[in-house]
Amino acid sequence: MSNKANVMSNREYDAFLKEQKAGAFKLCDPVVRGTFCVGTLTTEFVECSKGRLSDETLKEAEKAYLARTPEIAKHNKASDCWVTYKGRVYNITEFLEDHPGGEEVVLEYAGKDIAEIMSDPLSHEHSASAYTMLDEFRIGNLNLSERRALADELEVKASGKLPAELTEMDITDDFEPDETDTRRDFTENKFLDLEQPLIPQMWYSSFTKEFYLEQVHIPRHKKDSARLMPYAFLEMFTVTPWYVVPMLWLPLAAAFFHVSTMQFREQLSDLGSWSANAWSYTFAFSGYTFGIIFWTFLEYIFHRFLFHMDSLLPRNQTAYLIHFLLHGIHHFLPMDRYRLVMPPILFAALSFPMLYLAHTVFPKAVANSVIAGSYSMYVVYDTMHYAMHHTKLPAYLREQKKYHLEHHYKNYELGFGVTSKLWDIFFSTLL
C-alpha cells in the first residue's frame, strides 16, 4: 500500500480516483501497475479506515467525498470560494488576495466553472505555471452526473467543431503543425500525458464521455511516435509503417483476381481456349472495376459510422479505449507516421464480413474479382491517406489533402471521404 500511496505524490503519474458505482471508487495509477480498491466513499468508511490505509490514501478519499456534494455553487464569496475546472474542484479562497488581476475578477466566477475564462486570450491567457499553481488548491473531483451536465453546456462537445485556434488555421499544401508542448498540454487539460504510455492511461482513466470526445479530437503533435505500451517488446506490435500496406494487400488482391479469371475460364470452357481467356479477363476486370468503386462507399461507411460512432459510444472506459485504438488515436496524433495506416489485423477483421457478404451476394468468380478491386483500392486509400499527412501532392490530390486535413482540424463530423468527396456530396456531409 505504501508504494502505491507514494505514487500519489508524484505528479509524473497523477494517480486518480476511478468511479465504479455510485459512491465507490478505485485509486488508479495510469502508468505503472493497475489499481487497488479504496472503497465506498462515506464518512463512516474514512473513519473506520484510519490506521488501515495510508494518510495519503485517506486524504484522496476525503477529497472525492467532498466533491460529491451538489453544493459547489454555494461557495461563491471571498471567505469561501470554490471553482471547477476540467471536472475537478478547487478551493481558491487563500489565493484570492494573490491573484495578479485582483480578487474581483476571480469572484465573478466563484462557485462556477472557469475552463472558458482560463483559456480566453482576450481576458488573460494563463501560463503553464498558473495551471500548476491551481492544482495545489484541488480538493476533489466532480461526480459523473455533474461533469456530464457541465459538458452539455459546452458547444464544442455537441457540434464537432474544434477550438477557434484550429478552425481559423489556414490549411495549405505545405501545412506543418507546431509541435505540442506535452508538459503544458497535460498540465492544462488533464487528458493524456504524451511522455508516458497511452494504453495504460486510457485503461485506468476516469474520463466522462464528453470530456474524452472533446479532447481526443483536438490534435496534438510529437516529432517522434508516441508510445502506446510500457514495454518495448509489446510496443513493436502497435506500429505499422506505410509500406506494409502495399506489401501485404497487393499480392492478396492479385491472388483474388487470378482465382477469379480461372473460375470464369472454367465456366466459359465451351467457347474454346482463346475466347475463354479473353472473356474471363473481361468479366474479371468488370468485377474488379466495380470493387474499386464499391471500396469508396465502404471507406465512407466505415469512417462515418464505425470510426466516428461518437454519439453511440457507451459510457465506460473500455469503450473509450476501443474507440481510441480504432480511430481516436489518429485524431489525437494525426501526424504520427507509425499509426496512420490501418494495422493489418484491424483491416483483416473489418474485411472478413465484407468477404462473406461478397460471396453471399455474388457468384464465386464475380465475388473474387470484386474483392480484388476493393483490396487494390484499399491500398490506394491508405497510402494516399498517409501521403496526405506527410507529402506534397499533385493538383487534384492537393485539394483532397486540404479537404481531409480540414476534417481533422476544423470539423470531425463532416468530410468523411478520403479518396473522394463523392459520398460526402451524396449524403450531405460535405465540408
Rg (CA), the chain: 27
Domain definitions of the chain by residue range: 2-67, 72-152, 234-426
- Residue 397, strand partner residues: none
Which has the minimum average pLDDT: 113-127, 176-190, 214-228?
113-127
The pTM of the full predicted model, rounded to 2 decimals, is: 0.66
**pLDDT at residue 125, as a whole number:** 61
Tell which wins on pLDDT, 35 or 421: 421
The three three-digit cell numbers of residue 13, written as one number: 503519474
Tell which wins on pLDDT, 354 or 122: 354
Among candidate residues 279, 295, 285, 297, the one with its CA nearest the CA of residue 256: 285
Chain centroid offset of residue 53 CA: 36
Give every strand in the sheet of 138-141, ordered side by side.
76-77, 80-85, 88-91, 138-141
The pLDDT of 333-362, averaged and rounded, is 93
321 vs 311: CA distance, rounded Å = 16
pLDDT exceeds cutoff 70 at 345: yes
Which has the minimum average pLDDT: 62-76, 194-208, 238-252?
62-76
**pLDDT at residue 369, as a whole number:** 95
238 vs 247: CA distance, rounded Å = 18
**pLDDT at residue 331, as a whole number:** 93
Mean pLDDT of the chain, nearest integer: 76
| pLDDT, tens digit (0-9, with 9 covering 90-100), for 76-93 | 888 888 888 876 788 888
3-state class (DSSP) for residue 317: helix
Pairing, β 138-141 against β 88-91: antiparallel
| pLDDT, tens digit (0-9, with 9 covering 90-100), for 407-424 | 888 888 888 988 888 899
pLDDT-based confidence at 60, cuts 50/70/90? low
Maximum mean pLDDT: which of 101-105, 205-209, 225-229, 396-400: 225-229
The three three-digit cell numbers of residue 420, written as one number: 473522394
| pLDDT, tens digit (0-9, with 9 covering 90-100), for 94-120 | 888 777 667 777 888 888 888 777 766
| pLDDT, tens digit (0-9, with 9 covering 90-100), for 125-149 | 666 667 777 777 877 666 544 554 5
* Phi, psi for residue 359 in degrees, rounded to 5: -75, -15
- Residue 113, strand partner residues: 84
- Residue 35, strand partner residues: 28
Tell which wins on pLDDT, 412 or 65: 412
pLDDT exceeds cutoff 80 at 225: yes
287 vs 307: CA distance, rounded Å = 28
The pLDDT of 49-61, averaged and rounded, is 50
**pLDDT at residue 85, as a whole number:** 80
The pLDDT of 265-269, averaged and rounded, is 80
Among candidate residues 350, 351, 383, the one with its CA nearest the CA of residue 243: 383
Q: Which CATH superfamily is domain 72-152 in?
A: Cytochrome b5-like heme/steroid binding domain (3.10.120.10)
Among candidate residues 95, 69, 93, the one with its CA nearest the CA of residue 81: 93
In angstroms, the Cα distances linking 261 to 5, 248, 315, 372, 415 are 67, 21, 49, 11, 37
Asked if 32 and 54 count as a contact pair (C-beta separation under 8 A), the reply is: no
pLDDT exceeds cutoff 60 at 215: yes
332 vs 179: CA distance, rounded Å = 13
The pLDDT of 264-284, averaged and rounded, is 78
Asked if 291 and 370 count as a contact pair (C-beta separation under 8 A), the reply is: yes
Secondary structure percentages of the chain, helix, strand, coil, to 5: 60, 10, 35
Asked if 431 and 424 count as a contact pair (C-beta separation under 8 A), the reply is: yes
The three three-digit cell numbers of residue 386, written as one number: 498517409
Residue keyed to cell 465456366: 267
The three three-digit cell numbers of residue 384, written as one number: 494516399
Q: Around Cβ 138, how many Cβ atoms within 10 Å?
A: 15
Tell which wins on pLDDT, 340 or 31: 340
In angstroms, the Cα distances linking 322 to 17, 127, 413 are 21, 33, 19
Asked if 192 and 202 count as a contact pair (C-beta separation under 8 A), the reply is: yes
| pLDDT, tens digit (0-9, with 9 covering 90-100), for 363-379 | 999 999 999 999 999 99
The pLDDT of 230-246, averaged and rounded, is 92
